[in-house]
Amino acid sequence: MVVKRKAFQMAALVAAGSMVLVGCSGQGTDEHDAAPDDDATSTASPTAPGAELDQYAQALVTDAELMGTPQDPPVEGFVDEPVSMYLTLTDFSPTGECKQLLDELNSYSGPAVAGISAKFVKEVAPSNGDGEQSPEATQAAAETLIFETVNSDEPMSIYREIPNACDTLTSDEVEDAEAIFTKVPGLDALHLEIFDGQETETIAVGGASVNGTYHAYMSAEQVSMEQAQEMFGAQAEKLQETFQDEASASPSPEDESSAAETSDEPTAD
């Protein structure tokens, strides 16, 4: 797979959540669609010797039946850009541990060595609000980011904590509105259902990490829990298969603990 090198902006799939490149996102300005200038382009040029974006593309799940139709260009790459994550809830006011975790997520920023982004679209039959499917199909987007961090990190682990802390939120602004958080079983991902009193929108966000160095982030809208488990599970498995033997990968906390225990064992003279 050939990866196109260029500066790009990670657009949010929905208002609920996404991951962005801090240096190119334009977040907080009125120029979200502005073309990258010369400085942005030079920032995305390779600065680390031997940075090979194709290795990240090899870790990307591209199954059309699972992910949808890839957008053009199918894969975009970046080098030496910080990444940040966010999950925003309009008309909801989380409190306590839920608010703390969401604030922690929304303030995350980690320097990345390099990575790639891919966007997919598939047609789905939306719910008409009473649990039945509408005959009119709509497009649902999915977006994946594969990247390598400069420092050992586990940024995706927070997605397994948020559902327990947030559970179900009710809105003080919109009558009968609810936001229901559910953990995607066995994965660092959550499934979020937002009901506005008439219709339900869904989004799944989260990812996976290998040895605290290689990471996959995914956001998918209008997916069921079963679909989310299949999509995120496939991506986590592909990431593990691609990078598990990388010598440059830093050990995960579990690996470090195991190594410490081994070093404490007596050795024969």
Domain-located, residue 189: no
Domain-located, residue 174: no
Per-residue pLDDT averaged across 173-193, rounded? 95
CB contact at 8 A, 25 and 14: no
What 8-state DSSP symbol labels residue 58?
A: T
Percent of the chain with pLDDT over 90: 52
Domain-located, residue 163: no
Q: Is the peptide bond before 185 cis (omega within 30 degrees of 0)?
A: no
Please name which of 175, 176, 65 lies closest in space to residue 120, comparing C-alpha atoms: 65
Domain-located, residue 190: no
Q: Is pLDDT larger for residue 83 or for residue 162?
A: 162
How confident is the model over 1-59, as pLDDT tens digits?
A: 444 433 222 222 233 455 555 443 333 333 333 333 333 333 333 334 334 799 999 99
Domain-located, residue 69: yes
Domain count, the chain: 1
CB contact at 8 A, 136 and 192: no
Question: Where is 201: in which H helix or E strand?
Answer: strand 200-210
* pTM of this prediction exceeds 0.95: no
Q: Which domain holds residue 142?
A: 4-156+202-258
Domain-located, residue 165: no
CB contact at 8 A, 172 and 216: no
User: Which tokens sit at 44?
Assistant: 């995305």
What 8-state DSSP symbol labels residue 251?
A: P
CB contact at 8 A, 24 and 40: yes
**Does residue 188 carry a pLDDT above 90?**
yes
Partner residues linked to 200 by β-bridges: 195
Domain-located, residue 230: yes
Q: CA-CA distances (angstroms) from residue 230 to 4, 17, 63, 160, 206? A: 28, 20, 12, 16, 13
Please name which of 192, 204, 91 lies closest in space to residue 140, comparing C-alpha atoms: 204
CB contact at 8 A, 220 and 181: no
Question: Where is 54: in which H helix or E strand?
Answer: helix 54-57
CB proximity list for 100: less than 8 A, separation 6 or greater: 165
Domain-located, residue 124: yes
Q: What is the dihedral of CA 128, 164, 13, 125, to 10 degrees?
A: -20
How confident is the model over 65-109, as pLDDT tens digits?
A: 999 999 988 899 999 988 998 898 888 999 999 999 999 999 999
